[in-house]
Amino acid sequence: MTAPKDRWLDREAGPVVRPYAVTKGRTRPAGGTSFGLIDLVVASDLPPPPGSRLTSEHHRILERCLSPVTVVDLASDVDLPVGVVRVLLGDLRQDQMIRILATPRGRVTSEHLLKDVLAGLRAL
């Protein structure tokens, strides 16, 4: 039988870093900007500004953003919680290393669209 402290460790998982350590305790993106889950993120061609302190997580996000990706897909791809990704995106946006293409806010459905969907379902 293993010791009680050993049963909670998974040797294959590697080192565990808490989300607040990745964001240095921050819970909101820099500049007070919010990012929607389906907003598109794309990397800009600008190099990091002098004195920029990009972490390995920032670099992983930038690599994934070479082609447009939604915030929620980005979080899944880099295996980080959405809240953490939003904070890191705030850092990158402040340094002008990414662009955010916001999705339209407000009503996104219309009666005409819903009728077309219903007609398509009935046709099946």
45/50 Cα distance (integer angstroms):
15
pTM: 0.69
pLDDT tens digits for range 41-91: 999 988 888 888 888 899 999 999 999 999 999 999 999 999 889 999 999
Q: Would you say domain 14-123 falls under CATH 1.10.10.10?
A: yes
Domain ranges of the chain: 14-123
Where are any strands of DSSP class E within 1-114? 40-43, 69-70, 98-101
